[in-house]
Amino acid sequence: MENLIDIRGVTHAYQTKHGPLPVLDQLDIRVPQGEFCAVVGPSGCGKSTLTRLVAGLMKPDRGEVWLHGEKVTSPRKTVGMAFQNPVMLEWRSIIENVMLPLEIVAPGMAKSEKAARAEHLLEMVGLKGFETKRPSELSGGMRQRASLCRAIVHKPDVLIMDEPFGALDNFTREDLWQTMRDLRAAEPFTAVLITHDLRESVFLGDQVIVLSGRPAHTQYVLDVDLPKDRTIDVLYEPKAVEMLHLLRDQIRIAQRRDAGVH
Ligand SMILES: Nc1ncnc2c1ncn2[C@@H]1O[C@H](COP(=O)(O)OP(=O)(O)OP(=O)(O)O)[C@@H](O)[C@H]1O
Ligand SMILES: [Mg+2]
């Protein structure tokens, strides 16, 4: 299968006043078209840096990022992004916020068509009836649902998410995982999900990449061999529990490396 995302030997250091801070070291990640790649790793190891490189917001010192057979050298319109705290424009209604990327990517599209597309997505994530509300009138979980709609409204090839569910309580988070699963079944995209939550990585991922401590390289790749239409219950079955233990062990190894203990 074609690799839609191909990260090859990416090495990057930030220049700080104390000298260079190496963050990524010869990082390799390949995500086939339509697959969901979850990335976990110790705090501060370079995960958010990785998302910026994939989106073309930054260039690596060495190595290459390829999307759909094209080398990424500048910000890409065909990438959708979602973050932990969704930034919404308060002076716009929810549906107008969701339509925003279409205004940039497809300025010629009729307003009614943009609205229909946004409405369809909002209905899919359970926000029918909230289209004309302002962002502050929604709960955190609802705002995050709307922000997922906004991230995919323009049908991006690639969806990059940096801890999108991190600020939510456990039950809301599990609800959102299921929303994500359903969105993915309805709207094919290739995704990279940065998360601290190993259960989330196993529930949503086709593969889980464990990054080493900083400077990060790919320490371990887990193929999540579970049904695509998995339910939360799957996480309590022996196969998933075994994967969670394995990932936990890998994170421990990464943290030890991070602390300089080898
Ligand atoms: N613009 C910057 N200039 C200098 N240093 C930076 C910059 N951005 C990040 N860093 C440093 O690079 C390292 C990696 O940061 P990054 O945000 O990518 O980590 P992370 O894995 O996303 O962390 P977390 O899990 O806490 O979100 C950190 O030590 C951070 O302090
Ligand atoms: Mg981060």
Among protein residues, the one with the nearest Cα to ligand 1's atom 5 is 14
Contact present, 68 and 190 (Cβ < 8 Å): no
Confirm or reject: Cβ of 46 under 6 Å from ligand 1: yes
Which CATH number do you get for residue 26?
3.40.50.300
Strands laid side by side in the 218-223 sheet = 79-83, 158-162, 190-194, 36-40, 207-211, 218-223
Strand partners, 211: 218
What was the pLDDT predicted at 78? 81
Q: Angle, nearest 10°, between helix axes 170-186 and 140-152? A: 20
Indicate if the pLDDT at residue 1 is higher than 80. Answer: no
The CA distances from residue 201 to 54, 173, 192, 205, 232, in Å, are: 19, 12, 10, 5, 12
Q: What is the mean pLDDT of residues 72-87?
A: 87
The CB of 48 under 6 Å from ligand 1? The reply is yes
% of the chain residues with pLDDT over 90: 81
Residue 240, domain member (yes or no): yes
| Confidence (pLDDT) at 261 | 55
Residue-level pLDDT at 167: 86
| Dist. CA 224–CA 246, nearest whole Å | 12
240-259 residue pLDDT tens: 999 999 999 999 999 887 66
Residue 200 belongs to a domain = yes
Does residue 62 lie in a domain region? yes
pLDDT, average across residues 171-185: 92
Distance 46 CA to ligand 1 centre (A): 6
User: Region 203-219: what's the mean pLDDT?
Assistant: 95
Confidence class for position 17, pLDDT limits 50, 70, 90: very high
Give me the pLDDT at residue 86, please.
Answer: 85
Domain span including residue 56: 1-75+194-262
What's the confidence (pLDDT) of residue 250? 96
Q: Is residue 87 part of a domain?
A: no
- The burial class, CB within 10 Å (0-12 / 13-18 / 19+), for 134 is middle
Distance in angstroms (rounded) separating the CA atoms of residues 246 and 243? 5
Q: Residue 210: inside a domain, yes or no? A: yes
Is 221 within a domain?
A: yes
**DSSP-assigned letters across all residues of 115-180:** HHHHHHHHHHTT-TT-TTS-GGGS-HHHHHHHHHHHHHTT--SEEEEESTTTTS-HHHHHHHHHHH
Residues 6+ apart with CB under 8 A from 61: 11, 12, 13
CA of 203 to the centre of ligand 1 (A): 26
Ligand (nearest to CA of 50): 1
Least confident of 166-170, 192-196, 219-223: 166-170
Residue 187's pLDDT is 87
pLDDT tens, residue by residue, 125-174: 999 999 999 999 999 999 999 999 999 999 998 999 999 998 888 999 99
Q: What is the pLDDT of residue 258?
A: 66
232 phi/psi in degrees, rounded to 5: -60, -35
Q: Is the CB of 190 under 6 A from ligand 1?
A: no
Residue 71 reports pLDDT greater than 80 = yes
Q: Is residue 177 in a domain?
A: no
> What CA–CA distance (Å, rounded) separates 177 from 183?
10
Cβ contacts of 228 within 8 Å, gap of 6 or more: 185
Cβ(149)–Cβ(122) under 8 Å?
Answer: yes
Question: Ligand 1, from 14, 53, 198: best to mutate by most atoms within 8 Å of Cβ?
Answer: 14
What distance in Å separates the CA atoms of residue 203 and residue 228, rounded to the nearest whole number? 9
Q: What is the count of structural domains for the chain?
A: 1
Q: Round to whole Å and give the CA distance between 97 and 246.
A: 40
Write down the pLDDT at residue 132: 97
**Is residue 16 in some structural domain?**
yes
